[in-house]
A and B are shown apart, each in its own frame.
Chain A
Amino acid sequence: MTLNRRHLLTLLPLIGATGLGLGFARMLQGLTTGRFDPHAINNPLTHYAVPHFAPLSGLTSSSTPQDLSIPGFSYEELTTANQPILLNIWASWCLPCVEELPFLTNLAHRHTLPGAPPLTLWGMAYKDTPANAERILQRYGQPFQRLGIDDDGTTAIEWGVTGVPESFLILPGGRIVWHTSSSLTEDLYQTELLPLLHSAS
């Protein structure tokens, strides 16, 4: 009887170590697919309403050298939109954001195809200038129907942004249902974003 209990006790560290090992393996796998980010910060706005912010100007042909024109947006326009919006906060000077642009462009295209749940992409350029934003968008892809220039970063502070890129999913009515403080990847899109979009539509 005591012998059995002793055996069980000696097994305990082994079971613990196996559990830890499996956990670490999962974390490592999540790191490579983008599902797990140890530096991720939970945005307190998730599951709450869009914060109030001053209207953001977009790109106008007079502000951009190559005449790319994308309208800006206001709090009212964001909260009264009739389909889900993926708000991507990015910057032309941020390498991961630029890396993310081709995927976002692909995503925007995917959601124009018949059968896909509705989704539009809006952008907010953090501490950026219209000319630089235009240059990067023309070179790496332009997924945004609206683009607000947050030149001094005050709007991003209203949203609790800690580092670009970040993305928010906003449902009609202006409720934030999802947030990521890392780059959007195919894996994140398939496992987290798409199910939300299917249940929303």
Chain B
Amino acid sequence: MTHSFRLIASFTLCLICASTSYAVETPDEMLPNPILEAKAQSLGQQLRCLVCQNETIEDSSAPLARDLRHIVRQQLQQGHSPAEIKRWMTQHYGEFIHLKPSFSGVTIFLWLTPLLSLTLAYLLARPLWRRPAHIAEPLSEKEKLRLHNLIKKN
């Protein structure tokens, strides 16, 4: 029952979010420095809203996304680099916060699965392609004789 509640709540949220391209709702959320604000937006576009789960924190209207947008901007103003902020986010929310997961030991299967499944499909299909066309066995002496007789009869 609680799951359906969460599902409905996040679905509704996502519907609400879908109607706006940017959820930075009030102008005072934005940084006065346009360079920092651009950095914050590009960083926010790479981070997953953990409530809607398939939206960026920049797009989502969920309260948690708003808090995280605030943290991104706060840390940028304190002089942290985008890489440092990403590391902070990973420490707090795990790899899942990245919409594009990094290539590491943990995510290697995620990245290689398409390649692995294509290879497997190729290996499975290869015997079918490689099977030689059916070549008829040459006639035996007995068959040759029989054929010869049949032709002669006509």
Contact = CB atoms under 8 A, between A and B. Distances in A.
Interface of A: 31, 34, 37, 39, 41-44, 95-96, 99-100, 127, 153, 157-158, 160, 162-163, 182-183
Interface stretch (B1-9, B22-30, B78-86, B145-153): B1-9
Interface residues on B, range: 20 to 34
A96 B2 contact: yes
Contacts of A37: 3
Given A99-B1, A160-B93, A162-B50, A39 B6 contact: yes
DSSP majority for the B interface?
A: helix
Contacts of B63: 127, 153
14 contacts: A31-B3, A39-B10, A44-B93, A95-B2, A95-B5, A96-B2, A157-B67, A158-B92, A160-B93, A162-B50, A162-B64, A162-B93, A163-B50, A182-B6
Interface of B: 1-3, 5-7, 10, 50-51, 53, 63-64, 67-68, 71, 90-94, 96
B74 to A, nearest CB: 11
B51 A163 contact: yes
Given A39-B7, A39-B10, 19 more contacts: A34-B2, A34-B3, A37-B3, A39-B3, A39-B6, A41-B96, A42-B94, A43-B94, A44-B90, A96-B2, A153-B67, A157-B67, A157-B68, A157-B71, A157-B92, A160-B92, A162-B64, A163-B6, A163-B64
